[in-house]
């Protein structure tokens, strides 16, 4: 067990490597996953409804229309968002060009007087200057509300004219506009509220989002788990492969095979711990986004967790193989990143399988990442479907990759031990202080 404990110490001493490959890579994948999870959570509108409101700006240039414009703003505020775009021509041009508001209503100078004259003489009514947004229909709908307000104000002003037998004046229009607002405020049915009925499928929608989020996050571990376990294992076992260390190990009474097994076991334990941490965070992310953990079937959690552990062990096996080549740290990092990215882009995680070229699918099937993702898809719980047999078959292929990596590593180790430069020197060499 001494070699086992020493290997663990060597692993934990690689703080920078752990920070980069275990912490940073996993955080990067979790960040990408979190973006998708929050979109899933926000897209679930089955339990609430928020009506979209148009952004409307009302610009008053009429010296006698202050009360009329104020009443118009109060009328529009019930269903629109009032915004300020300024009053100068430059401000209005900028707002129109930048599409800052869905509707800009400009009350020209003398509008109230001209409207009063038109109502008194039964003439043509003046027009408001309006700018409607070109990106949606909200501005057009808001313009209909402006027309409704003017129609109600005109009716109220004509009713007052009929009662008083007096001409319609700007003051009468302002009074009529205020009367319209007061009448609508007292009428409970003037602004009907939207009632939202409970959707019986709302809970299942959230549960489906939670399941999708978890499965997606688990599959995104195909790159960081492989790269992290490969690099950490290769560098840790390389520490025992230095010429002086190797000679001392060969001279010890302990069998070389037992020492290598303890080194591998320590790295396997490290990989299993990393994969379990990744598994735990994958479960926590949907919950943090407000999705119910109950939406993820228990078999999906257990089977996918086992897949993550087995896949991490394959990463350890690949690191063992690389360490038997006595590659330096630069080569190990390069191999881990190139191999990890190749596995990720051909596994069906980065791109949907139906969008991948056939050659990429063929390459993916020759790598462990494809079968890891297939094993998770086999137990993803969609429509309650759990195929334990297919999961076992896919993981058997994943483990087969690990066995192949170990066999190749042993073959490389045998070739390395047969090299003549590894023989012990004839005289004892003293290390310099």
Q: What are the pLDDT digits (tens) for 285-335?
A: 999 988 888 888 899 999 999 999 999 999 999 999 998 888 888 999 999
What average pLDDT does range 23-29 have in this prediction? 92
Query: Per-domain residue ranges for the chain?
Result: 2-43+202-422, 54-186
Using the structure block, give the residue that is written with the tokens 């552990």. Answer: 309
pLDDT at site 276? 96
pLDDT at site 134? 75
What average pLDDT does range 332-359 have in this prediction? 90
Backbone dihedral angles phi then psi of residue 56, each to the nearest 5 degrees = -125, 135
Q: Is residue 202 pLDDT above 70, yes or no?
A: no
Distance CA 92, CA 58 (A): 11
The overall average pLDDT reported for the chain is 83
Helical packing angle, 224-238 and 25-43, nearest 10°: 170
Q: Is residue 233 pLDDT above 90, yes or no?
A: yes
Selected residue with higher pLDDT from 91 and 16: 16
Distances (CA, A) of 134 to 57, 77, 95, 104: 15, 22, 12, 12
- Predicted confidence (pLDDT) per residue in 254-263, tens digit: 666 778 888 8
Q: Is residue 265 pLDDT above 70, yes or no?
A: yes
Distance CA 221, CA 372 (A): 10
User: What strands lie across the sheet with 103-107, from one edge to the other?
Assistant: 80-82, 54-60, 103-107, 129-132
pLDDT at site 255? 67
Q: Is residue 431 pLDDT above 70, yes or no?
A: no
Q: Do 79 and 70 meet the contact criterion of CB atoms below 8 Å apart?
A: no
- Lowest pLDDT segment from 200-209, 255-264, 273-282: 200-209
pLDDT at site 2? 77
pTM for the complete prediction? Answer: 0.64
pLDDT at site 433? 42
Distance CA 226, CA 341 (A): 10
Q: Which of 3.40.190, 3.30.70, 3.40.225, 1.10.3470 would CATH assign to domain 54-186?
A: 3.40.190
Strand partners, 55: 81
């Amino acid at each position: 067990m001494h070699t086992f404990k020493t290997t663990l110490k060597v692993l934990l001493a690689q703080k920078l490597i752990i920070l980069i490959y275990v912490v940073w890579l996993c955080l990067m994948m979790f960040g990408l996953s979190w973006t998708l999870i929050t979109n899933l959570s926000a897209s679930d509108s089955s339990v609430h409804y928020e009506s979209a409101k148009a952004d409307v700006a009302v610009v008053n240039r009429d010296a006698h229309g202050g009360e009329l414009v104020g009443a118009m703003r109060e009328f529009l505020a019930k269903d629109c968002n009032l915004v300020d775009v300024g009053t100068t021509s430059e401000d209005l041009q900028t707002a129109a060009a930048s599409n800052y508001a869905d509707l800009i209503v400009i009350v020209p100078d003398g509008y109230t007087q001209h409207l009063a004259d038109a109502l008194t003489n039964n003439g043509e009514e003046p027009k408001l200057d309006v700018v409607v947004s070109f990106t949606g229909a909200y501005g057009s709908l808001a313009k209909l509300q402006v027309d409704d307000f003017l129609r109600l104000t005109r009716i109220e002003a004509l009713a007052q004219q009929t009662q008083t037998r007096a001409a319609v004046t700007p003051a009468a229009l302002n009074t009529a506009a205020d009367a319209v607002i007061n009448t609508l405020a007292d009428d409970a049915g003037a602004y009907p509220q939207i009632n939202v009925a409970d959707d019986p499928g709302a809970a299942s929608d959230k549960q489906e989002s939670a399941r999708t989020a978890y499965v997606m996050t688990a599959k995104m571990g195909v790159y960081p788990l492989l790269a992290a376990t490969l690099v950490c294992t290769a560098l840790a076992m390389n520490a025992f492969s230095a010429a002086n260390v190797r000679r001392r190990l060969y001279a010890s009474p302990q069998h070389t095979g037992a020492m290598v097994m303890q080194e591998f076991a320590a790295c396997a334990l490290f990989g299993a711990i990393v994969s379990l941490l990744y598994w735990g965070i994958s479960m926590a992310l949907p919950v943090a986004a407000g999705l119910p953990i109950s939406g993820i079937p228990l078999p999906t959690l257990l089977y996918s967790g086992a897949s993550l552990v087995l896949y991490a062990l394959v990463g350890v096996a690949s690191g063992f193989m690389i360490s038997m080549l006595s590659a330096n740290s630069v080569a190990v990092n390069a191999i881990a990143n190139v191999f990890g990215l190749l596995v990720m882009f051909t596994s069906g995680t980065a791109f949907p399988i139906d969008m991948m070229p056939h050659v990429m699918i063929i390459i993916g099937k020759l790598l462990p990442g494809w079968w890891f993702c297939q094993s998770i898809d086999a137990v993803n719980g969609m429509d309650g479907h759990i195929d334990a047999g297919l999961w076992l078959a896919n993981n058997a292929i994943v483990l087969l990759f690990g066995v192949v990596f170990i066999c190749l590593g042993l073959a490389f180790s045998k070739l390395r031990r047969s090299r003549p430069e590894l023989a012990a020197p004839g005289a004892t060499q003293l290390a310099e202080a």
